[in-house]
Structure 1
């Protein structure tokens, strides 16, 4: 089927009706001719070629100042000088094009710039695949299999390296002055620094006063998760504009409360209930887990702090003799466990756990697991940043706001 034979629409036919009619005719003709819809040589690739070549010819007309064949071009000093062949990669696969040339060689097409072999959207596809955990070799194989695009691993690396500047801007962008809730947590990934070792990645997510969720910062630490490192990173957030936070939700890391108080003295520190329950199970026998979690549920679902204290006394009376360390854990954490009980149920669900940030961490783990380890800190930060961008594109209210 020739894409040069697209039917013309009647003069009085509405635009939407004409588009529908042309689409139906094209699909029917493709079916009769045995032309597939997508892939190299497919219907959509052919239509895309027509559109791109028409746009290029329109750009040439604008460049020269007169239409093709117009007598006004005689003696104008410049004119059309045939075409050059070029294949560009698109989401539909490779598309061969005829690029118009002018005699003076000054034509600079905008829709497909000189030396460019990719139409807008191709780089975004590579970045999306990279954020999903595919290696450069896997991306190369995927593009070859699905789109018929012969793309080198070096090109894939260059495309992903191009986000480093955006990453650096994002990591240093100014932040809002006040956040309603801030969640802090860390994940462990493997990075080669002489030898492969576990490194913590510190992650902070904030909920603004307008309800918007934003990844405020990510940092690769130097060793095991520590309160001193947290103090450095929270101070950085303050220096970037975060003057106050109403509630900070975190795990029960020793010394973390002091780091939070140093950055935001008026913030309420809420210990993550999920972390408390998990840590409780470490001090108990597996055969008792069901009974322990059932008892703990009565505590953190209590209607008031006083009711929670009464239920805890009952829980402690049951388990004190058998698991004294578990009971001591709750006594030590009690002051930072109870703040959420002063709020309504809907707000409690938001602030009594770091589940929101752990959901993000889960995506981080998916993207990093296939690689085994990273060669540098920058390589690790690059893919984590792309995961944040990918979640934003998916409409999951986690923003990677790159400065304009």
Structure 2
């Protein structure tokens, strides 16, 4: 390649490429360590230049400007500081002012760690990014390599937090529990298997959400659910008002064996799904519209009247009707409570929404082991907690008022709401 071609090629480089070329020409790194040393040399002056810019803005003039100024505040030397960065420790000199009012933002006072790389890795991992994607992103943003082993070490740091969270004491009382499973593929013994992830979402007496735990099993069964209910009881749960489920055989009996006073509610949405298996596509819309008049009625008497009309109207599909006949007690018990309580209780959508969040980060493929799955799900849980931010459900005051209308429920609530946690 001739000199003219080399010059043209160099001219075509974008500013980032020109900067990279200048660093390479200046330092001629032979390894990742050499590159990190080069970046350390650059980071120091870069931070100092940014700090000088902040000081100029704070004082209203640059160090080169002279003349009368409205302020008597002046520069007052420097403070030496060592910063922890992604490429190691970097010494910098932070400018001071006479009045001590300068508050730098690029390197805040008393802050020495500006890397935050671990937090960024965990945040990317929580969003379902693979180790390869994380490594590529770190290299694109920060310009240095991070090995898969390093990423694994960083994400493994949450396993201790996961274990502590999974075994933490729970509140003594929950108004609502929602239970559901999702299935995830794990590689084990040189083959892939689908594992059931058991999830319990709870609402406490103040209407705040909490995920009580995550449990893995090779299948969903009433025996596993019983063990889980027994575990949360041992972790402190004494009483539960309502449990909403999708209809796993034996789950209701298992729940009541551990929490005798719990009211178990079959998910109405799941009943609809089970029923429409027996209905031709052309009739779905009319069928579900008439069903809504049943479970959405204003009172039990109105629901019973609508149910009779429903059975007569759809008698040509006995399988669909029989789903509702067999589960009518679960529909009827909804009308013991006010409409705000019914709106929460009649579906497991709340926990299915949690599982939908989990599926966003587990759908890419099989996990190498159980820990890889659990640490990802736990990081997703922490993201959900941030989103919920300790706020109660909308209209929770109305729900509480309707719960208090039942004397038995009111007595159980009062037992725990005043410091009984």
Q: Same fold (TM over 0.5)?
A: yes
Q: Tell me how far 1:87 sits from its aligned partner.
A: 7.0
Q: What pairs with 1:22-33 in structure 2 (closer than 5 Å)?
A: 22=58
Q: 1:164 to 1:398 in 2, by over 3 A?
A: farther
Matches within 5 A, 1:272-351: 272-320=267-315, 322-351=316-345
The equivalent of 1:200 in structure 2 is 196
**Deviation for aligned residue 1:180:** 0.5
Corresponding position of 1:180: 175
Q: Which residue of 2 aligns with 1:378?
A: 371
State the distance in 2 between where 1:54 and 1:351 align.
61
Structure-to-structure mapping, 1:55-74, within 5 angstroms: 56=81
Partner SS for 1:394: helix
Q: Corresponding residue for 2:346?
A: 352
Q: 1:96 to 1:331 in 2, by over 3 A?
A: same
Q: Within 2, Cα distance between the matches of 1:23 and 1:329?
A: 76
CA contact (8 A) 2:128 2:361 kept: yes
The Cα of 1:314 is off from its aligned counterpart by 1.0
Matched, 1:367 2:361: yes
**Aligned counterpart, 1:163:** 158
Question: Are residue 218 (structure 1) and residue 214 (structure 2) matched?
Answer: yes
Cα distance, 1:95 vs. partner? Answer: 8.5
Q: How does 1:225-236 map to 2 (within 5 A)?
A: 225-236=220-231
Alignment of 1:30-41 (within 5 A): none
Say which SS state the counterpart of residue 382 (structure 2) adopts: helix
Match of residue 65 from structure 1: none
Q: Does 1:238 align with 2:274?
A: no
Q: For 2:358 and 2:223, how far apart are their aligned partners in 1?
A: 24
- Give the drift of 1:362: 0.5
Q: CA deviation at 1:329?
A: 1.1
Shift of 1:384: 0.8
Q: Give the drift of 1:25.
A: 7.3
Provide the rounded CA distance (Å) in 2 between the counterparts of 1:276 and 1:120.
52
d(CA) in 2 for partners of 1:25 and 1:343? 69
Q: Which of 360, 383, 397 is the aligned partner of 1:390?
A: 383
1:71-109, Cα deviation, whole Å (9 max, x unpaired): xxxxxxxxxxxxxxx8712xxxx6972279xxxxxxxxx
- Root mean square deviation of aligned Cα: 2.8
Distance in 2 of aligned mates of 1:317 and 1:303? 21
The alpha-carbon distance between structure 1 residues 22 and 188, as it changes in their structure 2 partners (threshold 3 A), is same
Count of matched residue positions in the alignment of Structure 1 and Structure 2: 314
Distance across 1 between alignment mates of 2:53 and 2:130: 41
- Displaced runs of 4 or more, over 4 A: 6-9, 23-26, 396-399
Deviation of the 1:261 alpha carbon: 0.6
Cα pair 1:189 1:201 within 8 Å, conserved:
yes
Which structure 2 segments of 5+ residues have no match?
1-45, 63-77, 94-109, 393-421
Paired residues of 1:212 and 1:397 also in contact (CA < 8 A)? yes
1:140 alignment counterpart: 135
Task: Report the CA distance shift for 1:192/1:179 in structure 2 as closer, same or farther (over 3 A).
Answer: same
| C-alpha deviation, 1:310, in angstroms | 1.6
When the two structures are superposed, what TM-score results if normalisation uses the length of structure 1? 0.72
Give, in whole Å, the separation in 1 of the partners of 2:121 and 2:350. 27
Deviation at 1:137, TM superposition (A): 0.8
C-alpha distance after superposition, 1:348-387 (max 9, x if no partner): 22121111111110010000012x1112122111111110
Distance 1:377 1:349, change over 3 A: same
Q: Name stretches of at least 5 consecutive residues in structure 1 with no aligned partner.
A: 10-20, 27-52, 58-85, 101-109, 113-117, 400-404
Q: CA deviation at 1:283?
A: 2.1
- The reply to whether residue 88 of structure 1 matches residue 91 of structure 2 is no
For 1:290 and 1:212, the matched residues in 2 are separated by 35
Q: Secondary structure at the match of 2:327?
A: helix
Q: Contact 2:181/2:199 (CA < 8 Å) preserved in 1? A: yes
Q: Is the CA contact (8 Å cut-off) linking 1:252 and 1:333 kept in structure 2?
A: no
Do 2:196 and 2:216's aligned partners in 1 also have CA atoms closer than 8 Å? Answer: yes
Instruction: Give the CA deviation at 1:132.
Output: 0.8
